Amino acid sequence: MKKSDLVVINLDRPRYLRFGHKALKTLTALTNMDITNMDMTNFSLEDLEKVLYSGLLSDARENGETLKLDEMEDLLDQADSFKEIMEKLQEAFEKSFGPGTGEEKN
């Protein structure tokens, strides 16, 4: 993994959140979302779990773990706050796509 595009999110342990090609491909398969028109302000909680799951898979693989989507609810409950989850998600998307990701385009 490139260290420059990693975002650390503290859950059960510090985990790297990253949205590279493989994560984005997984994300679109799980959600049927078009990543070019993704609106981060309009995620359901289930979609949020899928988005974060996709971004955490490479960290799990590098640590010899098998992360399952149905574990995300409990894993995300270990974050300090929902606000932190959303801030880290925004930061990870910005590192992958650049500033302004997830905002509506006019």
Q: How confident is the model at residue 101 (pLDDT cuts 50, 70, 90)?
A: very low
Q: Taking residues 56-79, what's their average pLDDT?
A: 96
Give pLDDT tens digits for 2-50.
567 799 999 999 999 999 999 999 999 998 888 777 766 677 899 999 9
Q: Which long-range contacts (CB under 8 A, 24 or more apart) does 32-39 make?
A: 37/105, 38/101, 38/102, 39/102, 39/103, 39/104
The answer on pLDDT for 106 being more than 70 is no
% of the chain exceeding 90 in pLDDT: 66
The answer on pLDDT for 100 being more than 80 is no
